[in-house]
């Protein structure tokens, strides 16, 4: 059989931004109670407006990597930038230090559909990237975008906990994901997905692509109501070939969700109640 093209097809949806902040506690605590209340009122009102769309969520971060994580989903990069600039103008920003951020776009990989289409095109003697080949590809992508629209433009799941991390596929001298045939990559991804499906109902996973957007290749958001399940899922997946041999992982963040009207509690050093 003629070797199939290497590139798997993908469809993209919402633009995603993670913002991580440290609270400048010393500067904040020097303010009077009245000044603090005024700043909280302004920021709380703005954040509540963003939160009300279902596309912005606030998380109290555990550990030394930050105090506050703000997660945004938007239909376009322009809308994402507007949300970021909206927050940049708040007085609260004088008392926050941004420690990190991550930019990506919701992505659904189509390995199975890609391999099936490529084989059909090859069996019909269509040359890769010919006009007929490209037309078949665009027809498939259009159908998938329509069928998968709810997954491409999701609301942020209303769960208590978030686990976020970026990741790469390995490109080393001895192990290089990108030199494997597409059929082999499909097999490994199918095996990987089988594990994830066993956690349906306990964890909701949203994958976003960041090649050309940020320093890693993908971002993973796991949403759930029991953080221990994140550990179990990620640990089990470590034994998949695609993770054990071909994956590298970045910094992990664990956050506890709280509503915008709990900002005052967070800035007071307390964990806000669940929304």
* Average pLDDT of the chain, as a whole number: 95
Selected catalytic residue, list 165, 199, 213, 253: 165
pLDDT at 275: 66
Asked if the model's pLDDT at residue 1 lies above 60, the reply is: no
> Mean pLDDT, to the nearest integer, of 260-274?
91
pLDDT at 173: 79
Write the pLDDT tens digit of every residue in 83-113.
Answer: 999 999 999 999 999 999 999 999 999 999 9
Write the pLDDT tens digit of every residue in 138-196.
Answer: 999 999 999 999 999 999 999 999 999 999 999 987 899 999 999 999 999 999 999 99
Check if 102 is active-site: no
pLDDT confidence tier of residue 271, bands split at 50, 70 and 90: confident
Entry pTM: 0.94
Buried b (16+ CB within 10 A) or exposed e, 207-236: bbbbeebbebbbbbbbbbeebebbeebbee
């Amino acid at each position: 059989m003629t070797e199939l093209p290497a590139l798997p097809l993908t469809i993209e949806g919402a633009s995603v931004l993670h913002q991580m902040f440290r609270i400048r506690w010393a500067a904040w605590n020097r303010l009077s109670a009245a000044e603090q209340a005024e700043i909280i009122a302004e920021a709380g009102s703005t954040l509540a407006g963003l939160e009300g769309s279902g596309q912005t969520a606030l998380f109290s971060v555990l550990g030394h990597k930050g105090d506050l994580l703000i997660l945004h989903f938007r239909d376009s990069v322009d809308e994402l930038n507007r949300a970021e600039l909206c927050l940049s103008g708040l007085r609260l920003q004088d008392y926050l230090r941004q420690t990190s951020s991550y930019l990506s776009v919701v992505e659904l990989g189509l390995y199975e559909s890609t391999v099936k289409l490529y084989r059909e095109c090859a069996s019909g003697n269509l040359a890769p990237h010919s006009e007929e080949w490209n037309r078949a590809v665009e027809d498939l992508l259009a159908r998938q975008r329509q069928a998968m629209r709810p997954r491409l433009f999701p609301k942020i799941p209303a769960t208590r906990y978030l686990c976020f991390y970026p990741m790469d596929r390995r490109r080393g001298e001895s192990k290089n994901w990108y030199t494997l045939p597409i059929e082999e990559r499909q097999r490994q991804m199918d095996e990987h997905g089988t594990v994830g499906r066993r956690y349906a109902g306990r964890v909701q996973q949203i994958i976003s692509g960041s090649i050309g957007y940020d320093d890693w290749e993908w971002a993973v958001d796991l949403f759930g109501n029991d953080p221990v399940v994140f550990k179990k899922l990620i640990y089990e997946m470590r034994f998949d070939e695609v993770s054990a041999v071909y994956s590298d992982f970045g910094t992990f963040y664990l956050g506890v969700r709280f509503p915008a009207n709990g900002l005052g509690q967070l800035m007071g050093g307390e964990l806000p109640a669940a929304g």
